[in-house]
Structure 1
Amino acid sequence: MTSGDVVFVPTETVHLRHWQRRRIGMVFPLQVVRDTGDAVVLWAPAGTQGWHFDMPDGRRMTETPLPEWSASERVPVPHTIDHGVLSWHPRGRDYSIRWFFRPDGRFYRWYANLEAPSVSWRGDGMAGLDTSDWDLDVVIEPDRSWAWKDEDEFVARLAMPESYWVDEEDRVRRAGKEVIELVEAAAFPFDGTWCDFRPDPDWPAISRDLPAGWDRSIDV
């Protein structure tokens, strides 16, 4: 297994994994558009299937007390997106930026996911990008108006540090403010770049199967 310095190949499938301490909260497959070394751009069309990991009795995170959630083994539950997503992951940054597209190809929103710097890896025929989702996000409309997302949940979970995987509130908020400054300056990636993105129609379809090895650990 190799990690950290992996360069992804265009059209290969990369599995984005969100870790919550030592457990996985999400696995989602995307295709590589390009890897420039300092960032990777990924794509998934409407209809792509990923997996959320919920309680065995069907409860989701929002329906489960956080101490129970963090202490419990969870099971994969299929989840299909109804929009296209282009996802830019700058290496070493505390966020990724997503472009959302309607099924007819029209861009309709940016989404700033605040998260730990991603770690890329490849091994045994599988490639992945790992991060820890920090829950607090920023939603940006095409006119560059913006709003924090999930702030109430973020604050409530910070009050349970023994169960939460986020322990640096100031760092998370700094990442969000960095994004907001870019938005308000209409600077990349909020300058219109990729808002007209169209995938190559000859790209292979993304598998709908949860791959063997989805839960493998890596040496970060």
Structure 2
Amino acid sequence: MTGQILRWNLFIGGHLSSSVPVRLVERTDKGQLVWLETGTPMWRTELPGRAHLRDIPPQDRPAEGYRVKADRWPLGSALIHQPAGAGHAVFWFFGRRQRFRGWYVNLERRVHRGEDIDVADHELDIQVAPDRTWQWKDERSFAEKTGHPAYWSTDEAAGIRAEGERVARLAESRAFPFDSSWCDFRPPPHWRTPPRSAPPARTVLRRHEPEGSSPSAS
């Protein structure tokens, strides 16, 4: 149902990095769109000092995952397209006064479980400017993680990059989602920033974990 609050859970190397409430904008048999509001109360992995989960080797992380702490979504507001069965999501990022700033392609694997959207991040991403010029992001760290059992094999890495190349071609041809649709999106005025949800029940996502129930059309 439009406006329903879901939880977008981002996992890096099998461990939870952040859990943020989002609102459902649209859902069809082709996928769904969700809205992520800047400043939304969220949960973030509690790490020592200013460490980032990406920089901590999986073998040095606790098997049961880290504790989480309360925080707020620090980046801009974003409309997120999650195409059904695809290994990526596309973000429309908005700045002040809802000004469209460009697209961001997150290469990932998603598992849907009820109100939870569990996302296994594939590190390699693509930034697409409003004029549709694009560039890879995090190529070096993607290559460094390739072959590690907590991340992806060499064959899987080739598939991840191929997925990105396919999406990049869509940007070059100005095809959906890079055809100017949704660039003027404004959330309904009655939507309020979602409250902080209960702490996430799971902080570890296993590789090749079976897909949960897919989102059904409403």
TM-score class, shorter: 0.7 to 0.9
Q: 1:131 to 1:213 in 2, by over 3 A?
A: closer
- Which residue is 1:112 aligned to? 105
> Which digits, 9 at most, give the CA deviation of each residue in 1:134-166, with x for residues without a partner?
01000000011111011111111125x13x322
1:50-199 to structure 2, matched below 5 A, reads 50-56=42-48, 59-69=51-61, 73-77=65-69, 78-116=71-109, 118-122=110-114, 127-159=115-147, 161-162=148-149, 164-167=150-153, 168-199=156-187
Contact 1:113/1:133 (8 A) holds in 2: yes
By relative contact order (CA 8 Å, sep 6+), the higher-ranking structure is: 2
Please say which of residues 89-98 and 49-58 is displaced more in the overlay.
49-58
1:151-202 deviation digits (Å, cap 9, x = unpaired): 111111125x13x322311111011101111011110000101000011001
Aligned CA distance change for structure 1 residues 213 and 60 (closer, same or farther; 3 Å) = closer
Match of 2:7 among 6, 15, 22: 15
Q: Shift of the alpha carbon at 1:70?
A: 7.2
What's the RMSD between the two structures over aligned residues?
2.3
Q: Distance in 2 between matches of 1:21 and 1:137?
A: 15
What's the TM-score, normalizing by structure 2? 0.83
**Cα distance, 1:47 vs. partner?**
1.6
Unaligned 5+ segments in structure 2 are 213-218
CA contact (8 A) 2:88 2:107 kept: yes
Task: Give % identity.
Answer: 27
Match of 1:215 in 2: 202
Q: Which residue number in structure 1 is paired with residue 215 of structure 2? A: none
Q: Secondary structure at the match of 1:178?
A: helix
